[in-house]
């Protein structure tokens, strides 16, 4: 009986200190941190695309994150649900770092959603300022991040559909499906295999995307032009 209890405790500890694929993580409570190192946590506004992308990043690269399926959900309500997710993590892992990944296209032209986002940032002001919470929006969506692996596109793309249109010529052939790429990237059936993320990362394309995203944002901020172009802060996950 003692042996079983020790084994169970070991499993509970390992879940938070060894990054594992989203598909392998149980849905139970997170547990408490009592050993290290503690990998950054990821919460996201995408249920499938983001979850599987980062799970595969865990598996095939040296970048590691704690990925818990229940922290990947409907991005339209991220301003309401993210604070509770963040609180839940910090209650048990006070020194955790948490990356918040979400799309900006639903905010860009919507004053109501902009106001919700301002309230969201105010609620998390201290956590953002001390580096515990790092916001990583993409304008318009994570598909723009994928696009940067292939071309340095900085012109403003206002919505996810157009971003997928620019991306499709590069990666649609990787999937054996006649469906539109937008549907493929949201379908667990097609993206739970890591082949597409391996292709994204191949030949230095991941590092190229990181460099492009950071350089473009820094230049746009310096010129006061960030609101007039596409951008992504996802590069921060690979730099912090």
What integer pLDDT is reported at residue 40 of this predicted model?
A: 95
What integer pLDDT is reported at residue 230 of this predicted model?
A: 97
Q: Which range marks the domain in which residue 166 is found?
A: 2-238
| β-pair type (98-103, 133-139) | parallel
- The whole model's pTM is what? 0.84
For residue range 102-120, what is the model confidence (pLDDT) as tens digits?
A: 999 988 888 999 999 999 9
What integer pLDDT is reported at residue 75 of this predicted model?
A: 61
pLDDT at 209 over 70: yes
What integer pLDDT is reported at residue 47 of this predicted model?
A: 81
Instruction: Report the mean per-residue pLDDT for the chain.
Output: 85
Q: Which residues, in sequence order, are bridge partners of residue 100?
A: 43, 135
Lowest mean pLDDT among 79-93, 126-140, 184-198: 79-93
Lowest mean pLDDT among 17-31, 32-46, 157-171: 17-31
pLDDT higher at 21 or 48: 48
SS3 44: strand
Instruction: Give me the number of domains the chain comprises.
Output: 1
Residue 234's CB is within 10 A of a number of other CB atoms, namely 23
- DSSP codes, 145-207: HHHTTT----B---SHHHHHHHHHHHHGGGS---S-HHHHTT-HHHHSSTHHHHHHHGGGHHH
For residue range 2-28, what is the model confidence (pLDDT) as tens digits?
A: 343 443 433 333 333 344 444 444 343
What integer pLDDT is reported at residue 11 of this predicted model?
A: 37
Question: pLDDT band at 76, cuts 50/70/90?
Answer: low
Query: What's the rounded Cα separation, in Å, for the pair 192 and 154?
Result: 29
Q: Region 140-154: what's the mean pLDDT?
A: 97
pLDDT at 192 over 60: yes
Q: Region 203-213: what's the mean pLDDT?
A: 98
What integer pLDDT is reported at residue 143 of this predicted model?
A: 97
Q: Check if the beta carbon of residue 97 is closer than 8 Å to that of residue 124.
A: no
pLDDT at 30 over 50: no
What integer pLDDT is reported at residue 37 of this predicted model?
A: 64
Q: Region 186-210: what's the mean pLDDT?
A: 97
């Amino acid at each position: 009986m003692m042996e079983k209890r020790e084994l169970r405790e070991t499993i509970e500890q390992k879940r938070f200190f060894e990054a594992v694929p989203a598909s392998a993580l149980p849905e139970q409570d997170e547990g408490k941190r009592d050993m290290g190192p503690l990998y950054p946590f990821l919460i996201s506004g995408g249920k499938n695309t983001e979850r599987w992308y980062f799970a595969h990043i865990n598996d095939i690269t040296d970048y590691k994150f704690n990925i818990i399926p229940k922290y990947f959900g409907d991005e339209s309500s991220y301003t309401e649900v993210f604070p509770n997710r963040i609180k839940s993590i910090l209650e048990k892992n006070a020194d955790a770092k948490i990356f918040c990944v979400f799309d900006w296209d639903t905010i860009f032209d919507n004053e109501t959603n902009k106001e919700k986002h301002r309230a969201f940032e105010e609620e998390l002001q201290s956590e953002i300022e001390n580096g515990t919470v790092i916001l990583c929006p993409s304008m318009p969506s994570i598909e723009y991040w994928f696009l940067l692996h292939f071309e340095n596109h900085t012109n403003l793309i206002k919505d996810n559909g157009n971003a997928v249109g620019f991306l499709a010529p590069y990666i649609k052939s990787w999937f054996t499906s006649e469906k539109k790429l937008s549907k493929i990237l949201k379908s667990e059936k097609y993206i739970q295999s890591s082949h597409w993320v391996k292709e994204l990362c191949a030949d230095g394309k991941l590092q190229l995307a990181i460099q492009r995203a950071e350089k473009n944002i820094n230049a746009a901020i310096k010129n006061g032009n960030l609101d007039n172009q596409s951008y992504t802060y996802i590069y921060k996950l690979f730099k912090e």
